Chain A
Amino acid sequence: MRIGVFVCHCGSNIEGTVDTAAVAKATLEFPEVVYATDTMYACSEPGQDGIIQAIKEKNLTGVVVASCTPRMHEPTFRKAVERAGLNRFMFEMANIREHVSWIGKNREANTNKSLDLVRIAVEKLRRDAPLIPSKFSVNKRVMIIGGGVAGIQAALDCADGGLQVVLVERESTIGGKMAKLDKTFPTVDCSSCILGPKMVDVAQHPNITLHAYSEVDSIGGYVGNFQVKVKKKATYVDWELCTGCGACIEKCPSKKNPDAFNEKIGPCTSINIPFPQAIPKKAYIDATTCRQFVKGKCGVCAKVCPTGAIRYDMTDEIVTEDVGAIVAATGYDLFDIKKIPEYGSGTYPDVITGLQYERLLSASGPTGGHIKRPSDGKEPKNIVFIQCVGSRDKSLDRPYCSGFCCMYTAKQTILTKDHIPDSQSYVFYMDIRSPGKMYDEFTRRAMEEYGARYIRGRVAMVYPKGDKLMVRGADTLAGTQVEIEADLVVLAAGAEAAKGAPQLAEKLRISYDKYGFFMESHPKLKPVETNTAGVYLAGSCQGPKDIPQSVGQGSAAAAKVLALFSKDMLESDPQISRVDIKRCVGCGKCIMTCPFKAIKEVEFRGQKKAEVIETVCQGCGICTSTCPQGAIQLSHFTDNQILAEVNALCQS
C-alpha cells in the first residue's frame, strides 16, 4: 500500500496548538507512508484538489486526513478520494481538532498526541479493504408520528408532493397543542380558524391515511423499508359507522370526568368528541370512567346511537404499515406545576397553567369563552402571570428556555384586557425573550397599549387571603418586595419532552438529550435530520418551538423526505458485519444479541450457519463482540484493525 497523509491546519484551529508540519514530517517514518504534507484547509476546494493530485502523482492507494471529526467531513474526503479513482473506504481520518487542538494548549504534547492518532489511522488504513455498497429499492410511503401542527404540515407537504402518507396520532383527534389555543401571537388571529382548514385538508387528502387514537408499537427495518407496527387503541366505537352526531355525548350519564382536552379544568362525558372541529370527528369511550366498564351496566350510548356504532367488546388492534421514511413530530408536554409547591398549584384551584387559561379564553372551552375562575366562577379582575415556571431553573433540572412563554403571556394579557376591560394584568418575568418578526413590538403593545404591568423578579410564594391569592415576589428593578392581591394566578409552565419520548426514540433508534428531546443530526446544518437514515424530526419534539418554527420544520422535514424519495434505489452502507462461514459454528449467539434482527440462521451443506441481512445490519458491532471465535467481523472495523490500532497506540 502507498499511503498519503494530509495534516490540516484548519486555519489556526489546529495549527494554533499543533505543529502540523512536524506531524506530517514524522509520519513519513510510518510503514507504507510514502507522502505526507500539511495543508491549510483540507476540506476546501484547493485542499481536496491537493489530495486528488497527490493520489495521482504519487500513485497513492490509501489516504489519511488528520483534521476534524469524521462526523463533519468524512463524507467530503471519501468523495474526494473516490474522484481520484480510489475506493472511498481506502480512507481514514484522525481527529486532531476536537480530540486534540481544541482541548489542550500544550503545543508539544498536542503535536505528540496528533502523531499518535495519525499512527493509529495509518495502522487501520493498512488493513482496510475496498468496500462496495449494494443497492436496494425504496418504499415511497412516509409515516408521520404526531398530528400536531408540525406533523400536519409535514403530512400535507408530503401528500401534496405525491407521496402516500400515514399519519399516526396518539389522541382521538389531530390538532395537538395548537388546537387548544384560543388566539395566536403576534397577530392575535384565532388558532382554530387557521389550524382547522389544515386539519380538514388532512382528513380529505386522498394520499393521507390517518390512524388516530393510535401509538407506534414497534419499528423494524431500515431507511427505505421500515415496518412499523401501529397499535390502534380500542375506542369502543366503530368509526366506520360513527357520524359524529353527538347523541351519545348528550345522553351519557357519566358527565363529571376531567376533560383532558380542556386541560382538566372542565368536565366531560365518558363517551366524547374532544372539540367541535375534531378530526376525525368520531366519538371514543374512556373505559376508566365509563359506567358500562366500571360498573358493568349502563349501555345508554349503545341505545341512543342512531347508527349502532358502539362496540363495548372492541380490543386494541395492531396494524403493520410499510414505509420508507419516518417523521417524528411528537411535540411537547407541559412542566408539572405541582413540582413548585410554593406557587400553590394543586392547593388553590385559582392557580392554573397558561394552557388552562387558553381554554378559559376559548369559545369552545368549558366557560364558553368567558373568563371565570375555577374556584367560584367569578370574573377575575386582578390577574398575575408568572413566567419561567419550570424554565431556566437549574434547581428543577430545567435550565433551558421554553422559548414561547414570554410571547403567549403577552398575548394573554392583551386578551384579558379585551375580555375584561376593567381588569389589570401583572407579569412577573426574568427577561423578555421576543426575538422574531413583530414579536418585540407585540410585547411592547401588551405593556404600552394594554397596560399590563411587567415586574422584573421572581415570585417567592402564593398564599390565600379570603377569596383572593396574595402573590409575594421581588421587584429587582425597584429593589423592593412586592405583594399583589390576585383573583387568578396563571403560571407560564415550561415545555418538556412529550411523555414517552425517550421510549419512542429508542424504537426509532435516534438519540435524545437528557430532557428527552430528540437530537438532530447537526444543531445548525442538519436541524431536521437524525443520525438514523430515513428518520426526520419536526416541531417541538426536538426542542421547544413556537408555531411558525414548527410549521417551518414540518415543511423542511417533508422536503427531506421528498428528496430521499426522489431516487428509486438507495445505496446501503457496506460497513456491516459479515460471517466467515468456515469459522461459524452455528451457535446463534449473534442472532440472539442483534438489536436489529439483522442476522438469520441458514443451512449450509447440512450445517447451521449465521448470515447477515445486508440492508438491515446497522454496523453496531454487538455480534462481533459476542462471537467467541471471531467468525463475524464488522467490515472496516475488524478485530485485526482494532488490535492493530491498540498495538500502535501501546507501542508508540
Chain B
Amino acid sequence: MSRLEELKTRIKEALPGLECVIGWQKGYDALHNTPLFMRSAEDVDKLEWGALNVHNPAVYLPTMAGKKVGVVVKGCDSRSVVELLQENLINRDNIVIFAAGCDGVVDLTKVKAKLAAAGTGAGVVTAVSADGKTVSVTAGGKTVAMPMAEVAADKCLRCQYPNAVLADTFVGTPAPQPTPVPSANADLDALDAMSVPDRMAFWRYHMDRCIRCYACRNACPMCVCRDHCIAQSREPHWLSQDDSVTEKLMFQVVHAMHLAGRCTECGECQRACPMDIPVLALKKHLNRTIHDLFDYQAGVDAAAIPPLLQFKTEEVNIKERSW
C-alpha cells in the first residue's frame, strides 16, 4: 500500500473520534494543492501526499484549540506542532498526528521560473507527476521535466527531519535523511558576505516592495496574537500605518524578534509572500544566534522549555557571574 493509501485508511479509522483532520487536496489546477479539512470518508478520499503539499497545516491548530483534531504532517510541519505544544498553545490530548516520510516539496516560484524558461509561463497546469528525482509539469500542452534538486524548496535542501519528530500514526517506511546541500544556506551566506551599508540597502530595496499584506504573519504557525498583532494596534502603538520602508522593516524585525528561538524555519512566511521577499533570512539569522547562545533548536522536543521563555539567574553559556 502506498503512503497515501495507508494514510487514508488510518485517517478513516480515526475520523469518528475527531472534529476533523487537516491535510492537503488538489487545488484549482494540477500544480496548486490547497489545505483540506476532512470531516467525512469522502473528504479523506481527496487527500494528497507528495511534493506539492507545500502548506504547513499546523498553522490551523491554535485556532481550533479546545476541539479534538487530527493533522497530517511532513517532518517540518511536525516541528511546528511540537513548538506549539512547548508553548502550551495547543493541548496534546486534543491533537492526533498522522505522518509519513517526506521526500521534499517544490518551491512554486522555482517551478514557475522553469516553466517560463521553457516558454510556457502562463496558463493552467493540467498535469504534474513526480518520481522523487524529477518533477514533470504539463502546461499549455507542453510537458517540462525539472530535476527535483533544482525546484525543491530551500528548506528541503537543508532538511534535518524528513520524518515527523512527533507522530501518533506514522505510515510507510521513513524517508532517508537527505545529504546536506552546501548551497542550502545561500541566503544567509550572501547576507553575511555583505557590508553593513550593502545589507541595509538590500533590506531597504526589499522592504520598499512590501505591500503590507501580512501574508507572512498569517501563514506563520507561531504567530498566535492574531487580532492583537502589534502591527495593527494603536495601544500599544508600535507601528504607524505610514507607507514607509522604516515601518515595514520595523514590522519584519519585530516579527523576527518574536520568533527568536521559536521559529522552526518551516519557511511559510517566505512561501506566502506574494512579493517573494526573503523574510525567512531574518528569522534564520536570529535562530542561529539562539543556537550559538543556548545550544537550542525549536520544535524538536515537546518537553523542552524554549530558552527565551524561562528565567535563569545564570545561563549555562552566558557567564555574567563567575559561579
Question: Which residues does A use to contact B, with CB under 8 Å?
Answer: 502-503, 506, 580, 582-583, 585, 587-589, 592-595, 622, 626, 628-631, 633, 638-640, 643
> 1/0 contact trace for B69-100 toward A, CB 8 Å?
00000000000000000011100000000000
Q: Which of B230, B237, B313 is within 8 Å of A629, CB to CB?
A: B230
Q: Which of B226, B308, B310 is within 8 Å of A585, CB to CB?
A: B226
Q: Which of B228, B308, B321 is within 8 Å of A631, CB to CB?
A: B228
A628 touches B310 (CB 8 A): no
A232 to chain B, nearest CB (A): 24
B218 to chain A, nearest CB (A): 15
Most chain B CB inside 10 Å of its own CB: which residue of A580, A629, A640: A629
A506 touches B313 (CB 8 A): yes
Residue of A with least CB distance to B237 = A640
Given A592-B309, A592-B310, the answer on whether A585 and B238 have CB atoms closer than 8 Å is: no
Q: Give the residues in chain B near A592, CB-CB below 8 Å.
A: 305, 309-311
B225 touches A589 (CB 8 A): no
A630 touches B236 (CB 8 A): yes
Question: Which residues does B use to contact A, with CB under 8 Å?
Answer: 87-89, 224-226, 228-230, 233, 235-238, 258, 305, 308-311, 313, 321, 323
> Cα distance A587–B85 when bound, in Å?
11
Q: Give the residues in chain A near B238, CB-CB below 8 Å.
A: 630, 639, 643
B235 touches A640 (CB 8 A): yes
Q: Give the residues in chain B near A503, CB-CB below 8 Å.
A: 323
Q: Which of A502, A593, A626, A638 is within 8 Å of B236, CB to CB?
A: A638
- The 9 listed contacts between A and B (C-beta, < 8 Å) are A580-B235, A587-B88, A589-B309, A592-B305, A593-B309, A629-B229, A629-B233, A631-B228, A638-B236
Beyond A502-B323, A631-B228, A640-B235, 13 extra complex contacts between A and B, CB < 8 Å: A585-B225, A587-B89, A588-B87, A589-B87, A589-B309, A626-B309, A628-B258, A629-B225, A629-B228, A639-B238, A640-B236, A643-B237, A643-B238
B258 touches A639 (CB 8 A): no
Residue of B with least CB distance to A589 = B309
B309 touches A583 (CB 8 A): no
> Cα distance A594–B311 when bound, in Å?
7
A633 to chain B, nearest CB (A): 7
> Cα distance A295–B116 when bound, in Å?
83
Most chain A CB inside 10 Å of its own CB: which residue of B88, B305, B308: B88
B205 to chain A, nearest CB (A): 23
> Cα distance A639–B239 when bound, in Å?
11
Q: Give the residues in chain A near B305, CB-CB below 8 Å.
A: 592
A90 to chain B, nearest CB (A): 20
Q: Give the residues in chain B near A628, CB-CB below 8 Å.
A: 224-225, 230, 258
A626 touches B224 (CB 8 A): no
Q: Which of A502, A582, A593 is within 8 Å of B321, CB to CB?
A: A502
> Cα distance A506–B321 when bound, in Å?
11
A585 touches B228 (CB 8 A): yes
Most chain A CB inside 10 Å of its own CB: which residue of B229, B236, B238, B308: B236
B236 touches A587 (CB 8 A): no
> Cα distance A640–B238 when bound, in Å?
7
> Cα distance A587–B223 when bound, in Å?
11
B86 to chain A, nearest CB (A): 10
Residue of A with least CB distance to B309 = A592
> Cα distance A395–B308 when bound, in Å?
38
A626 touches B89 (CB 8 A): no
A73 to chain B, nearest CB (A): 30
Q: Give the residues in chain B near A595, CB-CB below 8 Å.
A: 311
Given A502-B321, A502-B323, the answer on whether A593 and B310 have CB atoms closer than 8 Å is: yes
Q: Give the residues in chain B near A585, CB-CB below 8 Å.
A: 224-226, 228
The 10 lowest CB-CB distance pairs between A and B, nearest first, are A639-B236, A629-B225, A629-B228, A630-B236, A595-B311, A583-B228, A628-B258, A592-B309, A506-B313, A640-B236
Q: Which of A587, A630, A633, A638 is within 8 Å of B230, CB to CB?
A: A630
> Cα distance A587–B311 when bound, in Å?
16
A633 touches B236 (CB 8 A): yes
> Cα distance A643–B88 when bound, in Å?
30
> Cα distance A304–B321 when bound, in Å?
48
A259 to chain B, nearest CB (A): 28
> Cα distance A589–B308 when bound, in Å?
9
A587 touches B224 (CB 8 A): yes
A621 to chain B, nearest CB (A): 12
A116 to chain B, nearest CB (A): 21
> Cα distance A191–B321 when bound, in Å?
37
B230 touches A593 (CB 8 A): no
B169 to chain A, nearest CB (A): 28
B87 touches A587 (CB 8 A): yes
Most chain B CB inside 10 Å of its own CB: which residue of A588, A592, A631: A592
Q: Give the residues in chain A near B87, CB-CB below 8 Å.
A: 587-589
Q: Give the residues in chain A near B229, CB-CB below 8 Å.
A: 629
